[in-house]
Structure 1
Amino acid sequence: MGALRIAVFASGQGTNFQAIADAVQEGKLDVTIELLVCDKPAAPVVERARKAGVDTFLFTPKEYPSREAYETEIIVELERRGIELIVLAGYMRIITSVLVEPYYGRMINIHPALLPAFPGVNGIGQALSYGVKLTGVTVHYVDGGMDSGPIIAQRAVEVLDDDTQSSLTERIQAAEQALLPEVIQHIAQGRVSLDGRHVTVRR
């Protein structure tokens, strides 16, 4: 079986993109990153992709009449490259059924909280404000809802008494960068199965 062909969607710094690219470079991932999709052409992740030799599809959402319009273009790019798995890694746009339906079960997202707690934007800030003692990261399938898809894997991160948004973010990001490549490798090895809301990862 050949390497799994993936596309990474990101909007910002691209630290998770970099973690995936580094894992590929180090021979720890049986995947090839065929495409970066980014809705902010000036985002730092674009330069990371260039340095990694990864093709990019860059777009500005306000230039399109609807989300569905740019997602239709994205699907053309994905199909052209035979993408088998979409990885949302800090992609800050809502996904519509145009993309979800053809790729359901083949699209994952990483979220900086222990879902179903603190979905949506600023999961780290939400956890701090609420006063939880434990938060973390979640990798889940995308189902079109707000961080509501079936959960594949989670990793806990302790919230310390003196944590600030910045200090907690640093540890959350470290957990993300460890967990996301691990999950991608499990999928590449065919060890992840989805049954309704329940995901099994064979050891």
Structure 2
Amino acid sequence: MDIVVLISGRGSNLEAIAQAYSTGKIKGEIKLVISNRKEARGLKTAEKFRIKGEFVDPSIFENREEYDRFLVDRIKKEKPDLVVLAGYMRILSDNFIKTFEGKLINIHPSLTPAFKGLKAQKQAIEYGAKFSGCTVHFVTRDLDAGPVIVQAVVPITLDDTEESLTEKILEYEHRVYPQAIKWISENRVKINGRKVIVEGARYGTLPVNPALEDF
């Protein structure tokens, strides 16, 4: 499973994915990491794992569509099996999504369809939710609303802040994202409408997050 990863920030999910590749848990290669921010720490992570990293400056393009067309052409040169969004903070154009439809995944720090968009952890706390978590999903034109591959559940305590909940959720993000990529690489993931079936996955009930097999 050869992938291209898009980032905007610190790249902690990128690091978890890169570690899974480097230890052989996922077979294949991270062909390229692209950032829309020059200062993104994730570019240093790419360098650490000897992955090709590139900053593509949005300011030199006329609009989002032109920027995304450039990205599409650049990504296609790597011939990836999958395009992975790992903290990529730009809304994708319809053309980008259509080009990689079914081969484009994202992770969101809530149990979608709850708390879409920015600051999902803060939204969950302010709403008074008792549980939150993270969701790996296929990307569609609807923001944070694509078919769900895997979710991990995280309890929200009375003393949680946006920062503490973010850190608790991140621990699971770093497990479920590599897990989802591994499943896809093994050709175990099938989409039936909105339902995603993972052949042989161990699903079950709380309190354990039973879908996690290898991470």
TM-score range (shorter-chain normalised) is over 0.9
> Counterparts of 1:57-136 in structure 2 under 5 Å?
57-136=54-133
Identity of aligned residues (%): 38
Amino acid at match of 2:193: G
User: How many residue pairs were aligned?
Assistant: 200
* Worse-matched range after superposition: 52-61 or 167-176: 52-61
Give, in whole Å, the separation in 2 of the partners of 1:174 and 1:113: 13
Q: Distance in 2 between matches of 1:41 and 1:35?
A: 15
**Structure 2: unaligned runs, 5 residues or longer:** 201-215
1:198 CA drift (Å):
1.3
Return the offset for 1:93.
Answer: 0.4
How far did 1:33 drift? Answer: 0.4
Does 2:168 match 1:157?
no
Give 1:60 shift. 2.0
Structure 1 unmatched runs, 5+: none
Equivalence for 2:137: 140
Asked if 1:195 corresponds to 2:192, the answer is yes
- How many angstroms apart in 2 are the aligned matches of 1:119 and 1:70? 24
Answer whether contact 2:43 2:54 (CA < 8 A) is retained: no
- CA shift digits 1:82-127 (9 cap, x unpaired): 1110111110000112211111110000000000000000111110
- Partner SS, residue 29 of structure 2: strand
TM-score calculated relative to the size of structure 2: 0.91
Within the alignment, does 1:21 sit opposite 2:10 as a pair?
no
Contact 2:3 2:84 in 1 (8 A): yes
TM-score, length basis structure 1: 0.96
- Please state whether the residue corresponding to 2:25 is helix, strand or coil: coil
Higher relative contact order (CA 8 A, sep 6+): 1
Distance 1:85 1:144 in 2: 17
Q: Determine the structure 1 residue equivalent to 2:176.
A: 179
